[in-house]
């Protein structure tokens, strides 16, 4: 089985470290690439088209280009419109959650405050049978709040 290619876009170094450690902790065959803002994310996805990831984790509050703008740019790009995007943010504001789903996010994970919970959430997302879920998309099923 090929490695699951995961792209994490987050300006917070600590959070990226937690994420990487947690992903390592769930002992799945994954390949993580990390970027610091939306702009570098778009550039990466447009230039390295051979290495398009299977799953993108996108923070919302970032400098240069934030998560919302980045998400819009992804969905505007024809070959990226089906890319799986998970929002990974501190915000639990209903407004933000609504907006990201409207803009085409597939999943919403609120950054947890314990490492264990982070591992649990990532496990759930990574192991999800996406092919099955994408045919029966319901926001409620993809909203992971901890």
Partner 1 sequence: MMNTVADDFFKKIVDDANTAVLYAEPSALKSLQVKEYLVKYANKSAQKFFSFENVENHSLGELINYDEILIFANKVLETGVEENFNIIVKEEDSLLSYNVRIYTFEKGLSFTLTLIKPKFITDKESKTPLGIQESRRRELEISNLFGIRVLDSNDSIICYLKPIFNKKGDVEDFRIDYINNRMGEIANEESTFIEGQTILEYYPKNAENGVLEILADGYLSGENKEYTKEFIFDKEPVWLATRAIKMNGGLILFSKDVTQEKAYETQLFIQNRLLSEAEHVANIGSFRWNLAKEQIKYSDNVYRLFGYDPNEFDDKYDRLLTFLHPNDFEKVKSSFKAARKNKSKTDLVFRVYIKSKELRYMNTIGECYQKEGNWYMVGVIRDVTKQIEAESVLQIKNTELKRTNADLEAFNRVASHDLQEPLRKIQMFVSRLDEEEEGRLSNRSQGYLSKIKYSSDRMRNLINNLLSYSKIDEVGEQPRRVDLNDVLNNVLEDLGERINDLEAEVASVSLPVVNGIQFQLEQLFANLIGNSLKYVNEGVQPNIKIIGNIVSGDKSLVESLLPNINYVKLQFIDNGIGFEKKYQEKIFEIFQRLHGKTEFSGTGLGLSICKKIVQSHNGTITAKGELNKGAEFTVYLPTLL
* Residues making contact with partner 1 (CB under 8 A): 14-15, 18, 21, 61, 90-93, 111-116, 118
Q: In the complex, what is the shortest distance from the CB of residue 122 to partner 1, in angstroms, rounded to a whole number?
A: 14
Q: How far is CA 101 from the centre of its chain?
A: 13
- Between 113 and 129, whose beta carbon lies closer to partner 1? 113
Reported as type and span, the H/E element at residue 119 is helix 115-126
- In degrees, rounded to 5, the angle at the alpha carbon of residue 59 between the alpha carbons of residues 52 and 67 is 80
Q: In the complex, what is the shortest distance from the CB of residue 14 to partner 1, in angstroms, rounded to a whole number?
A: 6
- Between 3 and 145, whose beta carbon lies closer to partner 1? 145
- Between 13 and 82, whose beta carbon lies closer to partner 1? 13
Q: Look at residue 18 and give its three-state secondary structure.
A: helix
CB-based contact 105:85 (threshold 8 Å): yes
- Between 20 and 46, whose beta carbon lies closer to partner 1? 20
Pairing between strand 4-9 and 55-58?
parallel
Q: In the complex, what is the shortest distance from the CB of residue 15 to partner 1, in angstroms, rounded to a whole number?
A: 8
């Amino acid at each position: 089985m090929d490695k699951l290619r995961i792209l994490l876009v987050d300006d917070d170094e600590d959070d990226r470290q937690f994420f990487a450690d947690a992903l390592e902790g769930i002992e799945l065959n994954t390949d993580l690439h990390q970027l610091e803002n939306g702009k570098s994310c778009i550039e990466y996805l447009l230039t390295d088209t051979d290495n398009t990831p299977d799953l993108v984790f996108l923070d919302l509050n970032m400098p240069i280009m934030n998560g919302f703008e980045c998400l819009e740019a992804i969905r505007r790009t024809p070959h990226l419109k089906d890319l799986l995007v998970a929002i990974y943010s501190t915000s639990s504001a209903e407004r933000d959650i609504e907006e990201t789903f409207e803009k085409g996010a597939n999943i919403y994970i609120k950054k947890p405050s314990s490492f264990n919970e982070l591992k649990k959430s990532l496990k759930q997302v990574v192991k999800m049978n996406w092919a099955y879920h994408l045919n029966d998309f319901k926001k409620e099923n993809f909203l992971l709040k901890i």
